Amino acid sequence: MKKVPEDPRDLRLVVVFLRSLRFWDRTKLATESELSRNTIDAGENGDRDFTRRSVARIAAAVGFPSALLDPLVSLFRLLRTLWEQGELWPEMLAAVAREAGGSAEQWTAIVHSAVKLYLAQQGEAALVDGDPEEVRQAAREAYVRLATLPAEQRRLAVARSRKLQTWGMVEVLCCESARAAAHSAPAALELAELALEIAGRLDASIRLQAQGYAWGFVSNARRVAGNLPQSEAGFVLAEALWPADLDQPCPLDRSRLLDLKASLRRDQRRPLEALDLLERAARTPDLTPIARARLQIQKGNALEALGEYESALAALGEAVPAVADGQEPHLLWLVHFGLAVNLCYLDRAAEVSETLLPAVRLLAAQEDNDLSTLRLRWLESKVAAGLGQIEEAIVALSRVREEFVDLELDSDAALATSELAVLYLEIGRTAEVKALVLESIPIFQAKGIYPEEQKALAVFREAVERETVTLALARRLVAYLRRAHYDESVRFEE
């Protein structure tokens, strides 16, 4: 890594950080490092610059590895730049970590400690002035005007207007990013990055938390775009900026970071870890009813991924009162859709058709995006199949499968193919099953299909080609793919 120019301020921060590792006062540090107390005092107070040699002696005294000293200085330069200019370069942090040669756990601990210390060094513990609800309301009103501008003009506006540079605007932009993520990953990313830019311009008392908050939504947009490694890297930065043990007061809802990370874990097929994150989020003090409802919806999704449909229904049911007034239409859509899907899995399609499907159709129309429409069509095929309307279900599911293929959603396309095969086998149309499977070979072997899924699909394909496939095998494949879609630990029993 190219060596960055050294700044006396970085060395000063490094010394305070090293002293804090041992919980030493200045006298103790002076004694152990064999430097004078005057040297320590003058250096930490900024009256005199530390030399590189004295910093090395201090590092040796506290037992800090000499190999990590240069990367630590670079890290503090990064943090200072972040603080003063509102900029953050993940690539630089990654390069520092690579040069350090330590484990991920070691570097996470160092970053967390450094951020806490740097925050304390600013000497600004007070929260930004203003009643939180007034700040939020002002931000919502300002966003109405901001939203009418093209993306480039939005950036110019937030750079020039102090009225837009508030934590409330960060919160509003992040909320809009989450909403946009339901239908457009690029739009979600643009809004989250704008929030991150504003966060970097905030007062020192809230800047780190706001940046950590915004990074959570940047990471969420990356997840929706299918870039899971980049999303994971973003959450590392979010947690470094706003670690769980940082007690600095903040009006932003830290449970959202855990909530969004749970979505990532679900997409990474780690539903148990998602549930653990949601349990932690639920313990966040002063959760609003909407925030708690959002967590319950997420919990329902994770339980559905584990095949615990009754428990998923219970979790979603707890979210209903908070969203029933329609103030959060997207959450209302998610609750109704989740209830309908889990009821179908429990063979209660008639109940869905009579009580939920009309509302789900209305909410999908209000969502007004292709993904919600596609989900609705898939649900309608499930309901039709559950009601014994097999031909109608085949027509609907065939269209859904084609759209999954067009969107290159390989795992979804493989599951839809298997569900379609079940419907064909239920009415004895084995020739269509064979044609369907032969047509789907590229899907079964696509990069988006996990190795264990490919093995299961290969077993099914072989049975179809030998004309020994049974309805029971097809149903077991569907049940497996449904679970494997969200849980990498599941194995297919031949």
Are the CB atoms for 158 and 147 separated by under 8 Å? no
Measure the CA dihedral 49/55/61/65, to 10°. Answer: 160
- Using the predicted structure, report yes or no on whether residue 82 has a pLDDT greater than 70: no
> Pick from 420, 327, 334, 323: which is nearest to 381 by CA?
420
Looking at residue 385, its pLDDT comes to 94
Tell me which of 364 and 407 has the higher pLDDT: 364
**Intra-chain end-to-end CA distance of the chain, in Å:** 51
Looking at residue 457, its pLDDT comes to 85
Are the CB atoms for 397 and 436 separated by under 8 Å? no
Amino acid in the structure at residue 134? E
The span from the CA of 329 to the CA of 327, in Å, is 6
Tell me which of 237 and 337 has the higher pLDDT: 337
Q: What count of Cα atoms within 13 Å lies in the side-chain half-sphere of residue 232?
A: 8
Domains of the chain and CATH, by start: 8-121 (1.10.260), 132-252 (no CATH), 389-494 (no CATH)
Looking at residue 299, its pLDDT comes to 95
Assign 461 a pLDDT band (cuts: 50, 70, 90). Answer: confident
Mean per-residue pLDDT, 10-23: 80
Please report the sign of the dihedral spanned by the C-alpha atoms of residue 26, residue 27, residue 29, residue 30: positive
pLDDT tens-digit map of 83-106: 555 444 444 444 444 544 555 555
pLDDT tens-digit map of 354-383: 999 999 999 999 988 888 899 999 999 999
For 127, left (φ over 0), alpha (ψ -120 to 50), or beta?
A: beta
- Average pLDDT, rounded, for the chain: 84
Amino acid in the structure at residue 198? I
pLDDT tens-digit map of 305-358: 888 999 999 999 999 999 998 888 889 999 999 999 999 999 999 999 999 999
pTM of the model: 0.68
pLDDT tens-digit map of 32-66: 999 998 898 888 877 788 888 899 999 999 888 88
Assign 453 a pLDDT band (cuts: 50, 70, 90). Answer: confident
Looking at residue 397, its pLDDT comes to 92
The span from the CA of 166 to the CA of 173, in Å, is 11
Mean per-residue pLDDT, 157-182: 90
Query: How far does CA 382 lie from the centroid of its chain?
Result: 29
Assign 191 a pLDDT band (cuts: 50, 70, 90). Answer: very high
> Pick from 35, 206, 2: which is nearest to 15 by CA?
35
